Each structure stands twice: as C-alpha cells, then as structure tokens.
Structure 1
Amino acid sequence: MAVFTPDTSILELGPAFFDPVEAAAFPQTILRFRNDRAAAQIGLDGLNDTQWAAHFGRFTPLPGSLSQPLALRYHGHQFRSYNPDLGDGRGFLFAQVRDDRGRLMDLGTKGSGTTPWSRAGDGRLTLKGAVREILATEMLEALGVNTSRTFSVIETGEKLIRGDEPSPTRAAVLVRLNHSHVRYGSFQRLAFHQNREGMAKLVDYCLAHLAPGASGSTPAAALIDHAVQGAARMAAQFMAAGFVHGVLNTDNINITGESFDYGPWRFAPAWDAGFTAAYFDHSGLYAFGRQAEALQWNLFQLGSALRLIAETDELKGPLETYPQRYRIALSDAVLGRLGVKRLSANDDEALVEAAQKALVGTQMDPDRFFFDWRGGVRRGASLADHHYADDAFSDFLRLIPDFAAGPPVHPYWADDAPCTMLIGEVEALWASIAERDDWAPLHSKVAAIRRMGEAHA
C-alpha cells in the first residue's frame, strides 16, 4: 500500500507560470465516482466519502501539497490555428503527490469554476461530459493505453445551459490523475513571449521531475527526444485500441506522452482511416488514420518553440526518428493487443500490415478481431467467420501461425463477445442516469471494463 506523499514541485517554476485561483462554491457535492484503484497508488484510498468530497468537491487542500489551486498558463494551436488566449479556463492544478513508483503526479480538475483564462465560459462541466471521461479513461487503461485516469466525479447540483445538447443539464466537477499537465502549449507560450529564462526553467523542471531518464546533447534535445517517444507511443496505442481522441490540439498534448482531456472521443466501429470523433472536424484533421500525422505535426511545433534556447540541428535529429519510432510502437501495440509472440522486426511489421489490410478490406469490428485472435489462435465459431474467409485476410492467416502464443487462460476470453465502447452504448449508459438517475449500469460497465483489463494484462 502506498503512503501518501505530498509534493509541491510546480512551485519551483514561479508565479509567471500559473495563477492562484479559488474553486467554485457548488450548491451540492454528490459523490458519483471514486477511483479507489488509482487512489491506492497515491495513498488516498483510506479517505472516507465525506473526506473525499471535501478534498475533491470543495477542494480543501491536501496536507503538505498545494495550499491553493493553480490555473496553468499556456497557448496552443487549435485545429492548426495559433491561439495565444488560452490557459486553464475551467480547471486547475489542485495538488501534486508521489505515486507508489516515486513519480510526481498531478491531480487536476475539469469543471471547477472560472479562472483568469475562462474568457466567456462558465468554468463548468456537464455531468454527461464527466461520465464520458470515466468511460474513455477506463476503457483506454484496460486496453493498455498510457492515459490519465478519472480519479473522482462529484455532481454539483447546478444546471447548465449548453448549445450542443439538451439543456438545462446537470453539472459535475471531475478530478483526473496523471503524470503531468505541462502541455506543448506551455512551451509555445514562452516562445511567443521570447522568454528564454522561463523556457530553460520549464525544460529543466520537466527533465528533473517528468523525464529523469531522458538524454541528449542539450537539455532541449533530451526533452524533445522524450516527447517524440511519447507521441509515437500514443499514436500507436490509439490505433491498436481503435480510438479517436477527436481534438489533438497542442494544448491537449502533454510532455509525458499521456493521452488526456477527453471531449468528443469515439472508438471506431471499423478500421476506417477517415472516421472522425468531433462533429466540428469538417476536414478530418484528427480522423482515426491521421492521428499519427497530427501528433508529428504537434511535435514540430514543440520543436519550433524550443528553438528559443536550442539550435535547430540539436532538435532535428530526434524529430526525424518519429516515423521509425511510430512503426516500432505500432508493432508493440498491435502485437500486444493480440497477445502473440514477437519474432523479428520485419516479421512483426509484416503481421501488423497484414492485420491492417484485413481490417480495412473487411471493415469488420476491430474489437471482435482482436478478441477472436487473442493468443494467435482462433477458438470456436465467431460472428465474424465470414470476414475471416475473405481474401483480405489471406496474408494474416498465412502469417499468424508463426506468432501463436497459445490460448489465453483468463475466463474473459471464453465470453461470447468482447467488451466494447461504441457510441450507442455510451448514450445508453448516459440515458439511464439522465432519465432514471440509475447509476448501476455505469458501475457494472466499469467493472466489466476492468475485468477485460485484467485479461489483457
């Protein structure tokens, strides 16, 4: 069991990086979700529900951590248009702690009230948005994606007006746990203001606390190398999970390479490169098959910002390794989800290419495919058998026997169908809450997702 170990390392950066703020005074604090599994990793699973609501609904400071919440400052490219008028507008950094691995972790919020960066927003989060983030983070964690975790959701008793969903709608405040809230946009802001001293300080902070193993010819080169590896892994894990983040703006990408800040996400019903998650992504900029490209473009913007304190040649080398690192990471992610043996780099890539060819050619459900072929061995009849007879699967069927690791043993793999998270199920889970205040289906789904995660592990 982890011992609660508070931290305040963010204060090393100084007041130019954040604004002290106050949390909103909510009418109610109704605890809807507490992630005791994540809490156990930072020594907070012993809190009772009253204490939990006090810290994560009223934001009473955690002993020894930050005495006041901090709204972080940053800029960013939003759909590739630069926006210098950003920052934590409906969230803040509430606390820092050390986890059971000794890593610095952030507890950040969403829907906690207005800040100097709220612009015309109300600083609030819909309860539906919070429920969707629970489902996204739980599913991604179970599928092996490096993601933030939804730590707490508390309903606040407010009614919100939103133009893109039925209103008034219920409100909530969410707390997420992840390794960092330092975004690519944090560096872009410093470059925009030509703040060399601040840039050097932020780079040193990241290397000391978030990427202690990073190496390079200079601090900036070490950090961009770390970022390239994280972005390549993120893109590959999204593909293997069949996941579309929806809004891969530079202010939504953190330096540790964790996926976070879930808005219009979707799991793809088929291996469709053009599948999008956001209704406003009219050009398909962040479509399923373009996410690797989008993250590479974001890395170029990070590299451009770091040129404030580094020579272009120092940054160019790590940036040029992105395509190769992505290919390696994609093999790792796809073969990992298949649960098969590794052979050689060439063989691994050949199987991954064959799997993608089969999925594109048949447009079958990727969850079904990975479920049916776990361990590299088909087990019994499947609803997808007609797909496996398709010519598109010929290369995969020829290659997979060499990779077979044998049948998996967890009882999940004997189920009739895989655990999925398509949009229809998300809406049905929300309808149970919105129409009947019935939370049982959500909690049952979280339990099913975690069971799937145990099987994948």
Structure 2
Amino acid sequence: MPITPRYRPAPRISLLGDGFADVVTAARFPTRTLRFRNQRWASRLGLGELDAEEWERHFGRLEPLPENLPAPLALRYHGHQFDVYNAYLGDGRGFLLAELEDPEDGRLLDFGTKGSGTTPYSRGGDGRLTLKGGVREVLAAEMLEALSVPTSKAFSLFETHEALFRGDEPSPTRSSLLVRLSHSHIRFGTFQRHAYHRDVARLSQLLDFCITHYVPEAAGGPDPAVRFVEAVARRSARLVAAWTAAGFVHGVLNSDNMNITGESFDYGPYRFLPTLDPSFIAAYFDHTGLYAFGQQPRAVALNLTRLADALRLVSPSAAFAPAVRAFEPGLREARAAAFLARMGLSPSDPDVDASLTEAIELFLEDSQVPFDRFFFDWYGGVQSEARARASEASRFYQGERFDALRSLFELYTPARPDALSHPYFQGDAPCSLLIDEIESLWHAIDAHEDWAPFEEKVAEIRRMGEALGAKAPAG
C-alpha cells in the first residue's frame, strides 16, 4: 500500500484495554465485485492512491491497514430497542476495522463494517448484509452528507456473491460488504452495557476515553460525566435539527443506534419525507409510530436520559437532569440554523429566525407541498420568487398562510447569492430520494444488472451538495 502523509493511523481503542471488544475474524467470501468506492474521502484520508487490488485487500478481504489495528474488533454494547432493554447486543454482523486521524481537522475517525461475518454477538444470524441493504446505505449517507447532516460516510461497497435468505424480503437475495467511515462507533449502549454489569471502573475509563478523543468540550470542571452528557445532548440536538430540515426519518432510534459524537449511522428502514407529516413512519415494524418523524426529538431525548442513567454509577450525586435538558434549547437553536441553511438564508434576529422556522413547518404541513420541491423553489428567499412562481408547484404558493411566510422572507438576505447560478438550480426539479426511486434503482440492478442509474443518482446527489454549499472532503 502506498503510504502518504495524509494517512494517519491512530489505533486509539487499544488504550481501553480488555472488556470493550472481542477480536474476531472476517468472513471469507466466494468472490468480491466492487460496486462503490468513495474516492473523495479516500483521497482526504491518504487512501486515494490504492489500486484496485489494494482496495480489495483492505476493504474486501478486510486485511489490516498499515500500522493500524492488527485484527478486527467486535464492539460490546447493550441498548433499549423499542423501549425494551436488550442485554444480548453487540456487533453482530460488523466490527471495527481501523482508526485514523482526519488530516483536515484532527478528528479521530474509524472504519466500521457491515456484513463482514458472524461474531460472538450474532445471535444466530448469518452476519451478512444484503446487496440491496448496502445500496440503500450508500444512498442514505450520500444524501445526508449533501444536505449537511452529520452522518457516517459510505466508504466502500463490495458485492460478495452469496445467496442470502431473509424472512421479510424476496429470497434468495444478493449479498454485500459495506465499510463505513464514522466519527466513532461508540454508542449510548456502550455505556449502558457497563452500567448493566455495575462495572464502575470500565465506565469511568470509557468516559475519560470519549472525552479525550471525541468530546473535548466536556473536559475540566468538577463533574466531567455531567459535562459529557450536556455536550452529547447539544450535539444530538444539532443532529435532530438537521434530520428535520432534511425531511429524514431514521426509523430505528434505539439507544444502540445513537453514538456519542452526534453523528447518525446505520441506515436500515429509513425514509425521506414526500410531504411534511409528523406521523410518517419509516420502519414497517414500528407499529405504534414510536420513531415517526415527529417523534424523533422525543426518542433522542429519552435516549439521552438513558445515557445519563448509565453514568450515574460514575457520579451518583451529580445533577444530570439539567444536562439532559440542554437538548431542548439546543434543538430550538439548531432547528432555526438548519432551516436557514436549507433555505440559503443568512441568520437574522433569533426570535425572527424561530418564527420563520415555525412558519415554514406550518405551511409545509398545511399545504402538503412536496417537501424537497419547496426548499428547491425558494432557496435564497425572495431572490427565487420568479423561479418559484414558474415552478410546477406554484399553485401551492398562495393563500394567507403562504402570504405570512412570504412576508418573513422579506426580512432575510441570501447567504450564498451566487448559488442560484449553479447548474443544479438551473434545472426544473429538486434532487430527492423517495422510496419509489430507491426501489427503481434497485430493480435496475437486480433485474438487469444495470448500475448506471445508481451511479448517476450518486452523481446527482453530489451536484446538489455542491449547490447547497455542503463541505466536500478535500484531498
């Protein structure tokens, strides 16, 4: 492998010692066909010069990267799943492959797998990932990154040419191996596991590790556990706000699916909203709407309480409630910022910003204008009025509620005045990622071995990200 100065191995998890992970062996697959390579992030991390054989060696056969973890590690964790505590969790079809430092901002990043074989926590499963699931994960991560949502990145996807059987979809189906890039795979449930076992020493050790490497703003002061929960609450608030502005429904907000850096990951039955509907459900098995679009703030706040409960063993007399409550004002502030960014508008007075956010949501829900269409039509506010009035959705932009919203637009200036000259905004439709299109992309692959629509969709998503000013990785 060609070593470049940008490649900065940083296997920090070894500092934790035993009790946090298990050494595992990657599955052996019949053969591997590369289906997606994230060259943008590879270049940023000093891995862009890997040739096809080297890429397959490290991200298909999962051989260790130089000077990195000598063997994969299946991480241990528990979690609440649909409000029921599960003490039998852990990495069941994935593991930690490597850790490295981001040369741009110094963050500690890691490579985690999905579909890489069985582990001690597979619970009778086959440890595999369907190819359709891998394709969906790539699309979700690309779309969220383009919309400036804190998200894991799909780094590599190989088809692994096994026939998988699943009870909830047509079988046999094709298999895949996903490698994703994250700012930590340490979950709320990682803390819950050690609290469950009353292991105060390891809880304290994990807390110190996370503050040192992931949440430095929690360092110092008399109660680092409280400061840590407050920092995670504020990061989680920014994440939920970004989901809301993106119209994203995660689908499975269990405490093992939330990490301590405020970055979303693990995209299973996700959906993007066609229109604003607080009761919209992504997971077909979410029969009560526990994780519906409008319930996501409640679900995250509850998981923050569970994180705090786990850390009470470390600081039994500390006041965690105010730290958890930091989520609420953090969410209000972050929602306004997220909606302004989606609208391409510069911030104004905080109260006015909050009023604009509320007015946008009321209008979207009342009118049922297509969610992505509205933000496409009115990006830049009044600067886009002529374009919006010529839109196929122009019939929605009338009536008292819209007139009140339109008057608020007058109070704002565009944050990026030149953005509307981007080719994306010269088109006549927004880039969306609704379920029907995902199914169509998969059908082209599965029925006709046609990967062109998928590749074109990734390119389209990235063009939208450029137009919206999403920060592309430098390399």
- Greater shift, 280-289 or 221-230, is seen at 221-230
Matched, 1:449 2:461: yes
Deviations 1:296-336 (A, max 9, x none): 01000000001011145432222122111100000010001
Alignment partner of 1:327: what SS? helix
Aligned-pair Cα RMSD in Å:
1.2
Give how far 1:222 is off: 2.1
Question: Which residue of 1 is the match for residue 154 of structure 2?
Answer: 150
Please give the TM-score of this superposition, normalised by the length of structure 2.
Answer: 0.94
Question: Which residue of 1 is the match for residue 340 of structure 2?
Answer: 335
Gaps of 5+ in 1: none
CA–CA distance in 2 between the matches of 1:279 and 1:39? Answer: 35
Matches within 5 A, 1:289-438: 289-311=294-316, 313-377=318-382, 378-380=385-387, 381-405=390-414, 406=417, 408-438=420-450
CA–CA distance in 2 between the matches of 1:231 and 1:307? Answer: 20
Q: Give every structure 1 segment of 4 or more consecutive aligned residues whose post-TM-superposition deviation is greater than 4 Å.
A: none
Question: Which residue of 1 is the match for residue 106 of structure 2?
Answer: 102
User: Across the two proteins, how many residue pairs are aligned to each other?
Assistant: 457
Contact 2:251 2:270 (C-alpha < 8 Å) held by counterparts? yes
Question: Which residue of 1 is the match for residue 473 of structure 2?
Answer: none
Matched, 1:31 2:43: no
Matched, 1:264 2:269: yes
Alignment partner of 2:428: what SS? coil
CA–CA distance in 1 between the matches of 2:63 and 2:193? Answer: 30
- Greater shift, 390-399 or 298-307, is seen at 390-399
CA–CA distance in 2 between the matches of 1:255 and 1:41? Answer: 24
Question: Which residue of 2 is the match for residue 18 of structure 1?
Answer: 21
Contact 2:312 2:318 (C-alpha < 8 Å) held by counterparts? no
- Greater shift, 394-403 or 50-59, is seen at 394-403
Give how far 1:103 is off: 1.2
Alignment partner of 2:9: what SS? strand
CA–CA distance in 1 between the matches of 2:362 and 2:49? Answer: 49
Contact 2:223 2:318 (C-alpha < 8 Å) held by counterparts? no
Gaps of 5+ in 2: 470-475
| 1:189 partner letter | R
Contact 1:2 1:42 (C-alpha < 8 Å) held by counterparts? no
Deviations 1:345-397 (A, max 9, x none): 10000000100010010111110010011111223301111111133313211
CA–CA distance in 2 between the matches of 1:104 and 1:143? Answer: 23
Deviations 1:65-90 (A, max 9, x none): 00000000000000110000000000
Matched, 1:116 2:120: yes
- Greater shift, 7-16 or 376-385, is seen at 376-385
Alignment partner of 1:213: what SS? helix
CA–CA distance in 2 between the matches of 1:261 and 1:130? Answer: 10
Matches within 5 A, 1:48-63: 48-63=51-66
CA–CA distance in 2 between the matches of 1:2 and 1:330? Answer: 38
Contact 1:2 1:99 (C-alpha < 8 Å) held by counterparts? no
| 1:440 partner letter | A
CA–CA distance in 2 between the matches of 1:402 and 1:236? Answer: 22
CA–CA distance in 1 between the matches of 2:345 and 2:150? Answer: 20
Give how far 1:2 is off: 6.1
Alignment partner of 1:82: what SS? strand
CA–CA distance in 2 between the matches of 1:176 and 1:306? Answer: 28
Matched, 1:87 2:90: yes
Matched, 1:67 2:78: no
Question: Which residue of 2 is the match for residue 165 of structure 1?
Answer: 169
CA–CA distance in 2 between the matches of 1:306 and 1:394? Answer: 49
Deviations 1:114-173 (A, max 9, x none): 000001100000000000000000000000100000000001110100111111000000
